[in-house]
Amino acid sequence: MTESIQTFLNERKELWLKDRVKKAENDTEVAELQQQADDKFSLQEWLPDAAKRVSQLSMMVSHPSKFSHPSAKTSSVIAQVKSAQDGYLRSGNVHYPLDVFGNAAAMDVYKFLSLSLTEDSTVLMGFEKDDQDLKSLIEKSSLDFASLKQAFLVIKNDDASSKTDHLVKQVYFPLENNEYHLLSILTPSGLITRLKQSIDQLRFSDATKEAKEKRKKNEHDAEGYADIFDLTVTAYGGTQPQNVSVLNSQNAGRAYLLSSCPPSFEERKIRLPTRDFFEQCLYSKGYKQSFKELQVLIRKDLDGETGKRKNTYLIRKDIDKTLRKIIEQILFKAFCIRKYKKEWSINDSYKTLPLYQRIWLDDFYEEQRKDDDEWFEEISLRISKWIINVYEDKEIIENSYMLGSGEILAVKEIVKELLDEDKEFF
């Protein structure tokens, strides 16, 4: 306890001496300044002076008015708001410390009262609880503990008044019968401090820095990192953030504003097939890379002389994997259409669409999909045929060739096998 208080006073002394020593003309002046500083920042002199200045501060405040204007003077406001699971970042839903505002020249008094006596006690709490060690330290300096306690606890006095200021932002809120409430808009300093701390931790923690460094080197990071975009940084208090509040001073006057713009959604462009899903909804060139991979694998797997499959396990596994990727892309297109809305295929515009495709693509036929397997057999066959046709298309794959009957049968078997595996999902 003695060490933390003495360290605080030494820091204040060094700060006071810094500029004055530079202006001293000789060693005699320096020695005089040093003696003056020793006296001024001894516990015996500094503590009574701090007790006089503490009345210039107000600790009990959740919404300091000085965030609106440094010269604004209002009552000390403590917002008592209930917590609710409403998804809003607001007072009541976030726990944060109360702020202190007042004369900037007296902020050192608040820092003194915030010094730790023990792990769970501060100097201010020591005065409240009549801490014996603190009392003994003060009385050794020939000071009266009781009078100092009374002076320092003024910082916690409740302000029962309701006083606003013309420098605070005002809003007229309409009521019934052409009446209005005049509201004074204040800033929740603890809330914006917690927000800044959370965002800084998210963006600038050691783990995030390490993950970003790995990304620059194109290295894998198991955890990765998150970021928040479209942040606005605002400043309170200009070059004198301590004139606004203690929390503002600790944040160097900086605070983040989250974007409050409504999200912009791009409506997914879904083309509903009128004749055939495979002809109208699947853009074959979008599958070009997958089919190139498939071509290489099939050539590896086929015996050039007999046209039969070698059925090498590793090649077969890669072919299955590539075909599964193509099928998943096809199913994604189908599910996008299925999510459109029920009964879309009942419209006269879609009469020429085959029934098995309507059952597959429209949730109006959901029960029929579960009870009837005929549509599934048709879809399996149609997917196989589409894959083979695209594979043989020279515009999609250079040097492509017509598959033989053995190859076609092999592709159909694999597709059927893969679709049967995922039948419930399908």
- Tens digit of each residue's pLDDT (9 = 90 or more) over 54-76: 888 876 688 888 888 888 888 87
**Residue 408 confidence (pLDDT) above 60:** yes
Mean pLDDT of 334-362: 89
Residue that the structure tokens 């008015």 belong to: 65
Q: Are strands 57-61 and 99-102 parallel, antiparallel or unpaired?
A: antiparallel
Q: What is the pLDDT of residues 79-115, one digit of tens each?
A: 888 999 888 888 888 888 778 877 777 888 888 888 8
Helix, strand and coil in the chain, % to nearest 5: 55, 10, 35
What confidence score (pLDDT) does residue 295 get?
Answer: 79
> 15-24, 31-40, 214-223, 358-367: which range is least confident on average?
15-24
Structure confidence by residue, pLDDT tens digits, 186-203: 999 989 999 999 999 999
C-alpha 203/C-alpha 207 separation (Å) is 9
| For residues 304-313, average pLDDT | 62
Question: Which pLDDT score, from 0 to 100, does residue 158 have?
Answer: 61
- Rounded distance, CA 190 to CA 61, Å? 9
CB atoms within 10 A of CB 326: 21
- pLDDT for 309 beyond 80: no
- Confidence at residue 301, expressed as pLDDT on a 0 to 100 scale: 65
Choose between 306 and 330: higher pLDDT. Answer: 330
Whether residue 141 has pLDDT greater than 80:
yes
Residues 323-342, mean pLDDT to the nearest whole number: 86
Instruction: Return the percentage of the chain with pLDDT > 70, whole number.
Output: 88
Q: How far apart, in Å, are the Cα atoms of 292 and each of 122, 298, 318, 369?
A: 71, 10, 13, 34
The one-letter amino acid code at 193 reads T
Measured CA to CA, the distance from residue 41 to residue 39 in angstroms comes to: 6
Rounded Cα–Cα distance for residues 358 and 351 (Å): 9
d(CA 359, CA 369): 6
Give the C-alpha separation, 354 to 337, whole Å.
Answer: 15
CA distance 201 to 62: 23
Average per-residue pLDDT in the chain? 84
Mean pLDDT, rounded, for 12-24:
84
pLDDT at residue number 423: 60
Residue 14 has pLDDT above 70, yes or no: yes
Least trusted range by pLDDT, from 45-59, 99-113, 212-226: 99-113
Model confidence at 286, in pLDDT bands (50, 70, 90)?
confident
> What pLDDT band is residue 173 in, cutting at 50, 70 and 90?
very high
Is 87 within 8 Å of 77 (Cβ atoms)?
A: no
Average pLDDT over residues 13-28: 84
The owner of tokens 């020695």 is 31
CA dist 414 and 388 (Å) reads 12
Q: Mean pLDDT, to the nearest integer, of 134-147?
A: 90
Distance, CA of 370 to CA of 192 (rounded, Å) = 54
Indicate if the alpha-carbon torsion angle 282, 287, 292, 294 is positive or negative.
negative
pTM: 0.51
d(CA 163, CA 153): 22
CB atoms within 10 A of CB 150: 12
pLDDT at 383: 87
pLDDT at residue 426 tops 60: no
Percent share of the chain, pLDDT over 90:
17
Tokens coding 351: 């009469």
Average pLDDT on 132-136 reads: 89
- Summarised one tens digit per residue, pLDDT across range 267-279 is 656 788 999 999 9
Q: Return the beta strands (E) in 20-128 as ranges.
A: 57-61, 99-102, 116-118, 121-122
Question: What is the model's pLDDT at position 425?
Answer: 55
Beta bridge partners of 401: none
Dist. CA 267–CA 269, nearest whole Å? 6
Query: What is the predicted pLDDT for the residue at 201?
Result: 92
| Of 113 and 405, more confident | 113
Short-list 232, 228, 77, CA closest to 165: 77
Does residue 389 contact residue 411 with C-beta atoms inside 8 Å?
no
Predicted confidence at residue 181, as pLDDT, reads 92
Q: What tens digit of pLDDT does each residue of 233-260 get?
A: 999 988 888 888 888 988 999 999 988 8
Question: 256: exposed, middle or buried (C-beta count within 10 Å: 0-12, 13-18, 19+)?
Answer: middle
Q: Which residue has the higher pLDDT, 292 or 203?
A: 203
